[in-house]
Chain A
Amino acid sequence: MGALKNPANLFTALVLLIFALTPVVAPLIGESFYVTVFARIMIWAIAAVSLNLIMGYGGLISFGHAVYLGIGGYTVGILAFHGVTSAWIQWPVGILLSGLIALVFGAISLRTKGVYFIMITLALAQMIFFLSISAERYGSDDGLNILTRSDFGIGFFSLNDKLTMYYTIFAILLASVFVSWRMVNSRFGAVMRAAKSNDTRVQSIGVSTYRYRLTAFVIAGMMCGVAGLLQANLKRFVSPDMMNGHRSGELIFMVVLGGTGTLFGPILGAAAFVLLEEWLSAITIYWHFLFGALLILVVLFWRGGLNGLIDWIGRAAWRKRS
């Protein structure tokens, strides 16, 4: 339990507890609305955790990560459109397709570095975005309504049930954090982190960083694809908008806001982002104005994200007491 002595981890445990209890508590205090908000937060958190795998630990700034949300989402949408509603088909197809596209995109973009990498991931993601716009059969810009949610064929387990939906998302979030934790603390993760700090040195030791990075890229893509599957099921709607460049930018912001390269940072970042969006947009329709300014200020003056902030506050309080 040594990890709980770390203030940021303690705070995250609290946040996870809030996630776990929301569906029970929110209706009691008359705020059922927050159940959906928290479900959305957790889906974004899964996507942010997946991006953090490559960006936080590997230093690979993908500006096209939201495309896998779209791939996962459209898999549910298009298969349901053709009458295939079984989750046992939809989900494996969605995950494999995300992985396959990540493999192709990664193979191309990982040949480059720095600015090139950022621009190419953005451009490749935009290609899929335009593809979805040109698909008239599946609604073009207007998107595609999904009449039935993924069907697992188990009587008591149906995503139409709000609680089942919520706790499925919660369980997948925990699973994705677990996967990320196992990966980062393995030999594989060590190579990723080493390559982030000095690629040339790792290569000269005789490790092919390209293969490691590509593997991480594919795993992150598949994980984000799952977030897309969930998002389509939650909203029962997919549209090109869920994978445009703005979504990818927001994902990067969530990771940085929470704390890049920390295990739970992306979850905190996603929560802060969605809640800020809810509250600011209630105050003014020009909330993007405040949001953009906030983004710039966070980058310029506030390194380490929420995770670092809580850590700092916790340690300061600890010191005062002793």
Chain B
Amino acid sequence: MDYVLLTEQFLNGFQLGIILFLMAAGLTLVFGIMDLVNLAHGSLFMIGAFVGGTLALLTGSFVIGLLLMIPAMLVIGILVEVTALRTLYPRDHLDQVLATFGLILFFNEAVRLIWGPEGLVVPLPESLDGIVSLGFGITYPVYRIFIIVIGLLVAFGLYLLVSKTRIGMLIRAGASNRTMAGALGVNIPKLFTLVFGIGAVLAGLAGLIITPITQAQIGMGEDVLILAFVVIVIGGIGSIRGAFIASIVTGVIDTLGRSFLDVVLLLFLPANAAESAGPAVSSMLIYILMAAILFFRPQGLFPPKGAG
């Protein structure tokens, strides 16, 4: 195993982890505060990609498109929350699962109606199109570094928002005990609309920044959503810190597993067995990790303090 490839794959995994974090951060707050199962979070990822991508193509600049996408997603998120999700809070999980599953079908078809079935290609912004040398003979695409930097900035911003501001304090209070926070005078419905809006922006951001690599497709959010579920389960519902650590771990393990597991298996399996078992086992790796963590800590690694 040479270290150049290892470093590159490690960075790829880190970048996947960043995307997962942007998804999981919104999800974990929505789960944590309102105890709402939102399967449609993946749709917000997709909508962010299509709306942001269209804005970028219209304005001719990826960065302007990205900046315009933020208020657009905030509005879309708040609209979804006010029109559809608000009535679901007092309902049981089954109703929430079904209604948000209905939202997935609805949004997928809406995107098919508006943008057509073939998806949307958003070119890499020219200024970010290139490869940079990181020393020691390691080269890496500039755009992927851009994703990592954006993700780290957002993570830091979220950390400041949640742990240093008044709104953050309310969010934490809501996450650890919603009823008590409400009894103490916090306007929980309004707080939640805001949190959902922020979650929608983060999901949309994740969808948009991955689009130049993967292009925007219908249903693109669903696989990411399931990975984000794994992340939340590992990290503990309602914990931003847990979501961040679990995202990076999941991203790195998944990526390294896919690229190196067959090499590792070669050490103790015959060549043809290792070759066929490699992809199979590596696609299961993070789920095995999740099962193992659940076995020892059913609440995840970092459950918020005081959550029951």
- Which A residues contact B (CB, under 8 angstroms)? 55, 61, 63, 108, 111-112, 114-116, 118-120, 122-124, 126-127, 130-131, 133-137, 245, 249, 252-253, 256, 260, 286, 288-289, 291-296, 298-300
What 0/1 pattern do residues 79 to 108 of B give for CB contact below 8 A with A?
A: 000001001000101110111011111111
Q: A293 and B233 in contact (CB under 8 A), knowing A115-B31, A286-B113?
A: no
Residues of B within 8 A of A120 (CB): 229, 233, 290, 294
Contact A296 B93 (CB under 8 A): no
Query: In the assembly, what is the distance between CA of A166 and CA of B287, in Å?
Result: 38
Contact of B112 among A111, A245, A286, A296 (CB under 8 A): A286
Contact of B295 with A by CB under 8 A: yes
Asked if residues B112 and A63 are in contact (CB atoms below 8 Å), the reply is no
B37 neighbours in A (Cβ, 8 Å):
115, 118-119
CB within 8 A of B101: which of A124, A133, A249?
A: A249
For chain B residues 103-123, which have a beta carbon within 8 Å of chain A?
Answer: 103-110, 112-113
- Is the pair B298, A112 in contact by a Cβ cutoff of 8 Å? yes
B213-241 CB contact bits vs A (8 Å, 1 = yes)? 00000000010001001101100010000
Cβ-defined partner of B94 (8 Å) among A111, A256, A291: A256
Q: Give A116's nearest chain B residue, CB to CB.
A: B233
- On chain B, the residues within 8 Å of A252 by CB distance are 94, 97-98, 101
Contact B283–A134 (Cβ < 8 Å): yes
Which A residues touch B101, using CB under 8 A? Answer: 249, 252-253, 295
Is the CB of B284 closer than 8 A to any CB of chain A?
yes
CB closest residue in chain B, given A63: B97
B residues 246-304 touching A (CB-CB < 8 Å): 276, 279-280, 283-284, 287, 290-291, 294-295, 298
Min CB distance B166 to A, Å, is 28
Q: Any chain A CB within 8 A of the CB of B35?
A: yes
B99, A300: Cβ atoms closer than 8 Å:
yes
Q: Which residues of B contact A295 (CB under 8 A)?
A: 98-99, 101-102, 105
With contacts A114-B35, A116-B298, A292-B108 known, what are 19 further pairs, Cβ within 8 A?
A: A61-B94, A111-B298, A115-B31, A116-B237, A119-B229, A126-B226, A130-B283, A131-B280, A134-B280, A249-B101, A252-B97, A256-B98, A260-B94, A291-B105, A294-B102, A295-B98, A295-B101, A299-B95, A300-B87
Our pick among A108, A130, A256, A289 for the contact of B113 (Cβ within 8 Å) is A289
- Tell me the complex Cα distance, A204–B98, Å: 32
Q: Indicate if the CB atoms of A122 and B109 lie closer than 8 Å.
A: no
Question: Do A288 and B226 touch across chains, with their CB atoms under 8 A apart?
Answer: no
Q: Taking the nearest CB of chain B, how far is it from the CB of A320, in angstroms?
A: 32
Inter-chain contact B287/A299, CB cutoff 8 Å: no
For A291, what are the chain B residues with a Cβ–Cβ distance below 8 Å? 102, 105
Evaluate contact between A293 and B106: CB separation under 8 angstroms. yes
Q: Kindly state the separation between the CA atoms of A133 and B280 in the bound complex, as whole angstroms.
A: 9
Query: In the assembly, what is the distance between CA of A289 and CA of B110, in Å?
Result: 7
- Would you list the 8 A-B pairs with minimal beta carbon distance, nearest first? A295-B102, A292-B105, A292-B106, A289-B109, A127-B287, A296-B102, A119-B229, A130-B283
CA distance in complex: A107, B274 (Å):
29
Cα A253 to Cα B95 with chains together (Å): 10
Q: How many Å lie between the Cα of A245 and that of B224 in the bound state?
A: 13
Residues in B neighbouring A131, C-beta threshold 8 A = 280, 283-284
Find B283's partner among A127, A288, A294 (CB 8 Å cutoff).
Answer: A127
- What residues of B have a CB within 8 angstroms of the CB of A286 in the complex? 109, 112-113
CA distance A137 to B94 in the complex (A): 38
Q: How far apart are the CA atoms of A71 and B99 in the complex, in Å?
A: 28
Question: In the bound complex, what is the Cα–Cα distance between A119 and B84 (angstroms)?
Answer: 21
Min C-beta distance of A153 to chain B, whole Å:
32
Bound-state CA distance A296–B91 (Å) is 13
B102 touches A299 (CB 8 A): yes
A245/B233 in contact, CB under 8 A: no
Task: Report chain B residues within 8 Å CB of A245.
Answer: 222, 226
A245 CA / B97 CA spacing, docked (Å)? 12
Of B39, B94, B222, most buried by chain A (CB within 10 Å of CB) is B94
18 residue pairs A–B, Cβ–Cβ below 8 Å:
A108-B291, A112-B298, A114-B93, A115-B37, A116-B298, A120-B290, A122-B226, A131-B280, A131-B284, A249-B104, A253-B101, A291-B105, A292-B106, A292-B108, A295-B99, A296-B106, A299-B98, A300-B87
Contacts of A256 in B (CB 8 A): 94, 98
* A293 in contact with B102 (CB, 8 Å): yes
Interchain CB contact (< 8 A) of A119 among B98, B232, B280, B283:
B232
**Cα–Cα, bound, A176→B103 (Å):** 32
Which residues from A are CB-within-8-Å of B93?
61, 114-115, 118
Do residues B105 and A288 form an inter-chain contact, with CB atoms below 8 A? Answer: yes
A24 CB → nearest B CB, Å = 36
* Contact of A299 with B99 in the complex, beta carbons under 8 Å: yes
Question: Please, how many angstroms separate the alpha-carbon atoms of A118 and B101 in the complex?
Answer: 13
Q: How far is the CA of A261 from the CA of B108 in the complex (A)?
A: 30
Q: Are B106 and A289 in contact (CB under 8 A)?
A: yes
**Which residues of A lie under 8 Å from residue B284 when comparing CB positions?**
127, 130-131
Neighbour of B294 across the interface among A108, A126, A133, A260, CB < 8 A: A108
Partner of A123, one of B95, B226, B276: B226
Contact B279 A134 (CB under 8 A): yes
